């Protein structure tokens, strides 16, 4: 029987199925650092890793000739924690879990957009602290959403799902920035530059992949282009945004608010950000529904099974 390391506890039925096919170890001790990732590459035939596990260039280098692993069936659509170039060079296949988390992640984008626009975090904090004095015609006034313009940065699967929700559900105009030309089947205008999207949008929603090509794509200059009433949402990867520049923009009132699900150095969230009332901060909940997390586990396992049978993993990256 091939050995399989599942790096975090996932849905029970998926683990149960895995146990019928592999000699399974489930790591209960949190994300693997580089040394632990290197050790796992040396110890197991296949690994089902997830966000936070450090399958870096250095991990592959440290495993080197001790490498035993042939497959990383990642739990998650984003795989910026895996150096795919190093994996390929080492002959390790990598797969991810697209599609199954698109709706759940787009829903978190909308949760953040609405919660930030309507100051739901502030309101909840006020109520819980016993400071609510009753309905006030001028209290906690937020920003209207219907009819406003949303700017999507990265019009992939999740970007389109957010855009559809905004257009069909909230009567918003959609503009977007995408590296390549993109036709979508609903009204949405692709603009020539990121700066123009940042400038025109009332709400900017970032839905690009992470990784070297998008690191700090949203920098101080991009944030400066936003309207002072603009609200910034990030549901992609923390590294896509210059967090320090974002904090400054929020502190100085250069933009009106932010809704974030992801951070540069998760789980570290800068104190300066946590102190700000004009942002809603979630602990990376994009795909966190029972149904979605089960489907992600199943897809990750199915890819490992395909690899084990000598077939091409269907979601190979
Ligand atoms: C979550 O962020 C994922 O990439 O699946």
pLDDT, one tens digit per residue, over 4-57 is: 999 999 999 999 999 999 999 999 999 999 999 999 999 999 999 999 999 999
Active site residue 157: no
Angle, helices 12-21 vs 290-308, to 10°: value is 10
Task: Classify the C-alpha dihedral 188-189-192-193 as positive or negative.
Answer: negative
Six-digit token string for 275 = 């102190």
pLDDT confidence of residue 111: 98
Q: Report the separation in Å between the CA atom of 175 and the middle of ligand 1, taken as the mean of its atom positions.
A: 24
- For 153, 170, 190, 275, the CA distances from 179, given in Å and listed in that order, are 9, 26, 10, 35
CA dihedral 220, 226, 230, 233 (to 10 degrees): -50
The pLDDT of residue 34 is: 98
237 catalytically annotated: yes
Give the separation between CA 202 and CA 231, rounded to whole angstroms: 6
The reported pTM is 0.96
Q: How far is CA 276 from CA 139, 145, 161, 251, in A?
A: 18, 22, 29, 7
Each as own residue / partner, the long-range contacts of residues 290-293 (CB below 8 Å, 24 or more positions apart, any chain) are 290/11, 291/104, 292/100, 292/101, 292/103, 292/104, 293/10, 293/11
Q: Which of 8, 237, 264, 293 is catalytic?
A: 237
Q: Which residues contact 248 (CB under 8 A, 6 or more apart)?
A: 220, 254
Identify the pLDDT of residue 65: 93
What pLDDT, on a 0 to 100 scale, did the predictor assign at position 91? 97
Count CA atoms within 13 Å of residue 261 on its CB side: 24
User: Residue 171 — pLDDT band, cuts 50, 70, 90?
Assistant: very high
d(CA 236, CA 263): 9
Distance 51 CA to ligand 1 centre (A): 7
Say whether 122 is catalytic: no
Check residue 106 and give its pLDDT.
98
Residue 294's pLDDT is 98
Q: How far is CA 237 from CA 102, 107, 284, in A?
A: 15, 16, 9
Report all structural domains of the chain as residue ranges with CATH numbers, in order of start.
Answer: 3-99+290-308 (3.40.50.720), 102-281 (3.40.50.720)
Sign of the CA dihedral running 185, 187, 192, 193 = negative
Q: 72, 87 in Cβ contact below 8 A?
A: yes
The residue contributing the CA closest to ligand 1 atom 1 is: 76
296 Cα nearest atom in ligand 1: 5
- CA dihedral (207, 234, 246, 269) positive or negative: negative
79 Cα nearest atom in ligand 1 = 4
Ligand 1 nearest atom to the CA of residue 101, by list position: 5
pLDDT in tens, 188-245: 999 999 999 999 999 999 999 999 999 999 999 999 999 999 999 999 999 999 999 9
Which residues' Cβ are closer than 6 Å to ligand 1?
Answer: 51, 76-78, 101, 286-287
Q: What is the pLDDT of residue 196?
A: 98
pLDDT of residue 7: 98
Average pLDDT over every residue of 134-151: 98
pLDDT single digits (tens) 61-116: 999 999 999 999 999 999 999 999 999 999 999 999 999 999 999 999 999 999 99
Give the pLDDT confidence score for residue 162 in this predicted structure: 99
Tell me how far apart the alpha carbons of residues 305 and 53 are, in angstroms, rounded to a whole number.
Answer: 21
């Amino acid at each position: 029987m091939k050995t399989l390391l599942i790096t975090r506890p996932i849905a029970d039925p998926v683990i149960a199925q895995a146990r019928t096919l592999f000699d399974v170890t489930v790591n209960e001790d949190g994300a693997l650092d580089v040394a632990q990732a290197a050790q796992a590459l040396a110890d197991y035939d296949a690994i089902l890793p997830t966000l936070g596990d450090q399958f870096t260039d250095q991990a592959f280098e440290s495993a080197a000739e001790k490498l035993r692993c042939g497959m990383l069936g990642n739990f998650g659509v984003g795989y910026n924690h895996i150096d795919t170039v190093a994996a390929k060079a080492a002959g390790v296949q990598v797969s991810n879990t697209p599609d199954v988390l698109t709706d759940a992640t787009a829903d978190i984008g909308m949760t953040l957009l609405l919660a930030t626009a309507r100051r739901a975090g502030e309101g909840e904090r006020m109520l819980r602290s016993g400071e609510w004095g009753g309905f006030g015609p001028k209290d906690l006034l937020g920003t209207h959403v219907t009819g406003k313009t949303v700017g999507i940065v990265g019009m992939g699967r999740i970007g389109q799902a957010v855009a559809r929700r905004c257009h069909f559900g909230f009567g918003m105009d959609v503009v977007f920035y995408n590296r390549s030309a993109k036709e979508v089947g609903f009204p949405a205008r692709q603009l020539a530059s990121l700066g123009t999207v940042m400038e025109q949008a009332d709400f900017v929603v970032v839905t690009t992949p992470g990784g070297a090509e998008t690191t700090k794509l949203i920098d101080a200059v991009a944030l400066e282009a936003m309207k002072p009433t603009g609200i910034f949402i990030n549901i992609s990867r923390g590294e896509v945004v210059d967090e320090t520049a974002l904090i400054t923009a929020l502190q100085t009132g250069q933009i009106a608010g932010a809704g974030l699900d992801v951070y540069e150095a998760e789980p570290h969230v800068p104190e300066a950000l946590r102190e700000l009332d004009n942002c809603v901060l979630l602990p990376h909940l994009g795909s966190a529904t029972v149904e979605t997390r089960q489907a992600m586990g199943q897809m990750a396992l199915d890819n490992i099974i395909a690899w084990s049978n000598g077939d091409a993993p269907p979601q190979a990256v």
